[in-house]
Amino acid sequence: MNKELACEIVKDLLPLYVDEMVSDVSKKSIENHLEHCKDCTQMYQNMALDLEKDEQPKEAGEVKRFLKKTKQMYFLYGLGGLSFTAILVCTIVDLAINKGLTWSLIAGTAIIFANAFMYAFLICKKNKGYITMSVISVGTFILLSTIQISRYYFMDVGTVWIFRYGFPIMLLWLGITWVPVLCRCALKWNIWDCIAVFMIMVLIGNYVTKLMTGDYALNDLWSMHNFIGNGLGEVIGAVLFGIIGRVKKWRK
Ligand SMILES: [Zn+2]
């Protein structure tokens, strides 16, 4: 089975040979032919080179991804360790000085809140926006409650402001933050338009907050009282990001 192969046949078989998809007999024949045919050898070398070029970026990408993941893991473990230590120290100091848990509760909740947010943001691949925002929403609720309970009931300072101002204002601002996330995740808007929408929501939020706290009456709202302080920055921002969004779309 060591018959000479015609160049045409070898050239037809080379792609399969490069991919190692030929039988042992064919392989042997092709190799015999390549030994003394410069033309076919040249073609084979080109093909092998192309194949190498194709495979290299894929492997490099995988290594990079692996490194990134490892770094991320170390970062998260480090953060977790540091946070645990911080909470422990706060609790011990608090117990020693106040003979009870007071401000360390607030500090601990804040640290856990920040960690949960970071963790959700880094780890999530699918529905990143929704999950991160959900963590923020629930976390803010818990943090606010902890501050109220620790201060009023354990430390005997402050007033019960949480039901009057705390929760309503928190819900308002969480709603405002959810809008751009929904625009981005559900409606697939570009990031610049989402920021522009957020700016407009902040403008509305500023006025509604002042209404809720009793600083403004409805009349102030309609007459856009102190617009420079409450909304000029946001309007400029919204226009600016809106323009960036249009330019980006137009350049595509
Ligand atoms: Zn040949």
Give 17 Cα–ligand 1 centroid separation in angstroms.
Answer: 14
Q: Is residue 239 part of a domain?
A: yes
Predicted local distance difference test score (pLDDT) of residue 122: 83
Q: Is residue 210 part of a domain?
A: yes
Give 52 Cα–ligand 1 centroid separation in angstroms.
Answer: 23
Give 21 Cα–ligand 1 centroid separation in angstroms.
Answer: 19
Q: Which of 64-68, 89-93, 114-118 has the lowest mean pLDDT?
A: 64-68
Give 39 Cα–ligand 1 centroid separation in angstroms.
Answer: 6
34-58 tens-digit pLDDT:
998 999 999 999 988 888 777 766 6
pLDDT band at 151 (very low <50, low <70, confident <90, very high): confident
Give 6 Cα–ligand 1 centroid separation in angstroms.
Answer: 7
Predicted local distance difference test score (pLDDT) of residue 2: 47
**CB-based burial, 21-48: b 16+ in 10 Å, e otherwise:** ebeeebeebbeebbeebeebeebbeeee
Give yes or no for residue 1 having a pLDDT over 60.
Answer: no
pLDDT band at 3 (very low <50, low <70, confident <90, very high): low
167-208 tens-digit pLDDT:
899 999 999 999 999 998 889 888 899 999 999 999 999 999
| Long-range residue pairs from 185-193, CB within 8 A, at least 24 positions apart, any chain | 185/127, 185/129, 185/130, 190/245, 190/248, 190/249, 192/241, 192/242, 192/244, 192/245, 192/248, 193/241, 193/242, 193/245
Q: Is residue 238 part of a domain?
A: yes
Q: Is residue 85 part of a domain?
A: no
Q: Is residue 47 part of a domain?
A: no
Range of the domain at 199: 177-252
198-239 tens-digit pLDDT:
999 999 999 999 998 888 988 888 888 888 888 899 999 999
Give 5 Cα–ligand 1 centroid separation in angstroms.
Answer: 8
Predicted local distance difference test score (pLDDT) of residue 4: 61
Give 31 Cα–ligand 1 centroid separation in angstroms.
Answer: 10
Give 12 Cα–ligand 1 centroid separation in angstroms.
Answer: 11
Give 53 Cα–ligand 1 centroid separation in angstroms.
Answer: 24
Give 9 Cα–ligand 1 centroid separation in angstroms.
Answer: 9
Give yes or no for residue 26 having a pLDDT over 70.
Answer: yes
Give 33 Cα–ligand 1 centroid separation in angstroms.
Answer: 6
Q: Is residue 197 part of a domain?
A: yes
Q: Is residue 121 part of a domain?
A: no
Answer whether 0.95 is exceeded by the pTM.
Answer: no
Number of structural domains (the chain) is 1
Give 237 Cα–ligand 1 centroid separation in angstroms.
Answer: 68
Q: Is residue 79 part of a domain?
A: no
100-117 tens-digit pLDDT:
888 888 899 999 999 998
Q: Token pair 């030994």 is at which residue? A: 35
Q: What angle do CA 17, 21, 27 make, to 5 degrees?
A: 50
